[in-house]
Chain A
Amino acid sequence: MYVAVKGGERAISAAHAWLDETRRGDPAVPELTVAQVEQQMPLAVDRVMAEGSCHDRFLAALAIKQAKGDLIEAAFLLRAYRTTLPRFGASAPLETGAMRLRRRISATYKDLPGGQVLGPTFDYTHRLLDFALAAEGTERATAPEADAPVPAVPRVTELLAREGLMQREDPGDGEPGDLTREPLAFPAARDVRLQNLARGDEGFVLALGYSTQRGYGGNHPFVGEIRVGHVAVEFTPPELGFPIEIGEIAVTECQMVNQFKGSRTEPPQFTRGYGLVFGHGERRAMAMALVDRALRSAELGEDVTAPAQDQEFVLYHSDNIEATGFVEHLKLPHYVDFQSELENLRTIRAALVRESLREAAE
């Protein structure tokens, strides 16, 4: 006689134990420390902070270790932890003009106040595997240091705005929206769109940004400026009534300069695509700025024809935690639904057979 499969509980425990074992790998190899991940995989940490929507290098590094290097899984762990934290309020807007710069480049001006600062970049490296890195215990690499730190310098788009050539942004009133508290509603305002893109999947946002360059809703972007560095976070506790600095975070900001033909109410001028992400994430910030500008098409009176311009398409599918959950849920049992489809198909086919038999008989 048939006995239904049991023992799911034990199987799960065993599977989790095995997971722990594979995370450790060969015990003959020294265990990776969280500090090592944090220090030596800083860009992975940055990505997990951005997609995990939580600026904490230690927690991000821990999540990467726990996730065996699966960065989406790590961002998921960080998000689930973030949910349980109390929300104190919204900070004052970051003053990126006062950023302590590590890197700052502009593609629109050869030279400009503050100059071009390359910083620690992969740009202009030759992508040759460096076998010297395979040998451990080599000397620590050092870079020559400038005599003075890079001073705070004005933003490129601000120079254009002073001339009236760059559209001013609406400073908005009150706190920006927060997707982690309120669900998306359409049409979505720009604050919410930017939050969505800032924590969106890097691959998805990158591909969408790329699609605008290939003619799917693009409009000639220039990198006005990319800046990477640290900015102070200011917060006004209700009991004080004035802002205090509560710390510094690492961010990357990208401002794209785009053409705009002008409309009934506005003269022709440049418009901005904006990207701001946690950590050093140039690719993410640039793609975000492209998609931000594409998503402004409707409000700027441009035709909405391409995927990157379609608010619902972009904003509903950018979140990789939502996406991975729903795609992977397909491996959960679906035998009840499958069974009803089976019976359905059998019923239809039986009816067809009856019909053809009747026709043959006639």
Chain B
Amino acid sequence: MNAPLEGYNFAYLDEATKRMLRRTILKAVAIPGHQIPFGAREMPLPYGWGTGGIQVTAAILGPADTLKVIDQGADDTTNAISIRRFFTRVAGVATTERTAEATIIQTRHRIPEAPLRENQVLVYQVPQPEPLSKLEPRRAETKRLHALADYGLMHVRLYEDIARLGHIAKAYDYPVMVGGRYLMSPSPIPAFDNPKMHRMAALQLFGAGREKRIYAIPPYTDVRSLDFEDHPFRPIRAPQDCALCGSRESYLDEVITDDRGGRLFVCSDTDYCGERVAARGAAAC
């Protein structure tokens, strides 16, 4: 473990702020899917770049934790590196790129392919916590709609998609019902990842810094993607195999290889892909 940065508290935030965050997190866990307002602090990283996730991680991080940070499923994307470096600097905790070794995984836009375990926490960075924001911009009104569980409007939106396009056109940030009560934004993960949230063994925490909301899904909670009985939710992925590990199950990134339309598809989850390639290499030896 490295020594934390001189002049700053462990994990940057002072202990009183961390207590405030933990109280908010407990409340969020107690009311699955419900957005809890909190006094988000100004962080040394910009709003919209993960300040909510960083504050949640800072609040739950202990010296014995092992942290993994991913963006678009990958550990080596620039913003993931920047956040991982931040916690190395201010908390000195161990970091890893291996999903299985991490106790806390902070993520932007993906859920790892490998199933998570009970002693892991998945922290999502959330740009817009309000699933109804596109339909009703006023928070005073959306708060009322949540209180009354008045979600007909969301279904109207899905109805309109089917009427116009033949199927529900929401490809990411696909709204879910948590515990049969609260409509929730899963953050901009691809709809492909939604089923992984359902009855997940790990605790899922969501932090929105700019919008100053925290919400949570406790382990083993029901999470259903909104749909119609005759138009059930269907996660989509590119129909190709991963060019590196050959996976037909994982979510793929499309990579443009030249300017003549050449392209190939590789796993977005770099750890998952790497493990599979390594296993194949070991088998070949």
Residues of A within 8 A of B210 (CB): 322, 325-326
Whether B268 and A336, one on each chain, are in contact in the complex, defined by CB atoms closer than 8 angstroms, is: yes
Q: Mark A311-349, 1 if CB is under 8 A from B, else 0.
A: 010001000011011111100111111011111100110
Q: Mark B96-128, 1 if CB is under 8 A from A, else 0.
A: 000000000000111000000000000000010
Option from B37, B165, B266 in Cβ contact (under 8 Å) with A4: B266
Whether A325 and B48, one on each chain, are in contact in the complex, defined by CB atoms closer than 8 angstroms, is: yes
Residues of B within 8 A of A4 (CB): 74, 244, 266, 270
Option from A84, A312, A336, A340 in Cβ contact (under 8 Å) with B14: A84
Question: Which of A312, A327, A339 is the most central at the interface, judged by chain B CB atoms within 10 Å of its CB?
Answer: A339
Residues of B within 8 A of A187 (CB): 140
Of chain A, the residue at the smallest CB distance from B40 is A183
Whether A180 and B172, one on each chain, are in contact in the complex, defined by CB atoms closer than 8 angstroms, is: no
Whether B41 and A83, one on each chain, are in contact in the complex, defined by CB atoms closer than 8 angstroms, is: yes
Q: Mark B68-80, 1 if CB is under 8 A from A, else 0.
A: 0001111011110
Q: Known: A183-B39, A325-B210. Contact between A343 and B238, CB under 8 A?
A: yes
Whether A325 and B47, one on each chain, are in contact in the complex, defined by CB atoms closer than 8 angstroms, is: yes
Residues of A within 8 A of B169 (CB): 344, 348
Bound state CA distance, A316 and B43, in angstroms? 18
Whether A337 and B188, one on each chain, are in contact in the complex, defined by CB atoms closer than 8 angstroms, is: yes
Q: Mark B166-183, 1 if CB is under 8 A from A, else 0.
A: 110101110000000000
Whether B253 and A2, one on each chain, are in contact in the complex, defined by CB atoms closer than 8 angstroms, is: no
Whether B79 and A337, one on each chain, are in contact in the complex, defined by CB atoms closer than 8 angstroms, is: no
Bound state CA distance, A324 and B48, in angstroms? 9
Whether B254 and A339, one on each chain, are in contact in the complex, defined by CB atoms closer than 8 angstroms, is: yes
From 124 to 172 in chain B, residues with beta carbon under 8 angstroms from any chain A beta carbon are: 127, 137-140, 165-167, 169, 171-172
Option from B38, B42, B251 in Cβ contact (under 8 Å) with A83: B42
A6 within 8 A of B: yes
Q: Mark A1-14, 1 if CB is under 8 A from B, else 0.
A: 11011111101100
Bound state CA distance, A83 and B16, in angstroms? 12
Whether B140 and A337, one on each chain, are in contact in the complex, defined by CB atoms closer than 8 angstroms, is: no
Q: How far does the Cβ of B189 sit from chain A's closest Cβ, in whole Å?
A: 7
Whether A336 and B139, one on each chain, are in contact in the complex, defined by CB atoms closer than 8 angstroms, is: no
Q: Known: A322-B210, A326-B127. Contact between A348 and B48, CB under 8 A?
A: no
Option from B82, B252, B253 in Cβ contact (under 8 Å) with A12: B82
Whether A337 and B172, one on each chain, are in contact in the complex, defined by CB atoms closer than 8 angstroms, is: yes
Size bin of chain B's contact surface: 35 or more
Whether A183 and B48, one on each chain, are in contact in the complex, defined by CB atoms closer than 8 angstroms, is: no
Of chain A, the residue at the smallest CB distance from B264 is A2
Interface of B: prevailing SS: loop
A79 within 8 A of B: yes
Interface of A: prevailing SS: helix
Whether B190 and A339, one on each chain, are in contact in the complex, defined by CB atoms closer than 8 angstroms, is: yes
Whether A340 and B48, one on each chain, are in contact in the complex, defined by CB atoms closer than 8 angstroms, is: no
Q: Known: A12-B81, A336-B172, A340-B172. Contact between A82 and B76, CB under 8 A?
A: no
From 151 to 195 in chain A, residues with beta carbon under 8 angstroms from any chain B beta carbon are: 180-187
Of chain A, the residue at the smallest CB distance from B47 is A325
Bound state CA distance, A15 and B109, in angstroms? 25
Bound state CA distance, A7 and B75, in angstroms? 11
Residues of B within 8 A of A11 (CB): 78
A76 within 8 A of B: yes
Whether B109 and A334, one on each chain, are in contact in the complex, defined by CB atoms closer than 8 angstroms, is: yes
Residues of B within 8 A of A344 (CB): 169, 171, 236
Provide 27 A-B residue pairs closer than 8 Å at the C-beta atoms, listed in order of the A residue. A4-B244, A4-B270, A6-B76, A8-B78, A8-B81, A9-B85, A80-B44, A82-B42, A83-B13, A181-B39, A182-B39, A183-B213, A187-B140, A321-B42, A322-B210, A324-B47, A325-B46, A332-B108, A333-B72, A335-B268, A336-B73, A336-B172, A339-B254, A340-B171, A340-B190, A343-B171, A343-B236
Q: Residues on B close to A: CB < 8 A?
A: 8-9, 12-14, 37-44, 46-49, 51, 71-74, 76-79, 81-82, 85, 108-110, 127, 137-140, 165-167, 169, 171-173, 188-192, 210, 212-213, 236-238, 243-244, 251-255, 257, 264, 266, 268, 270
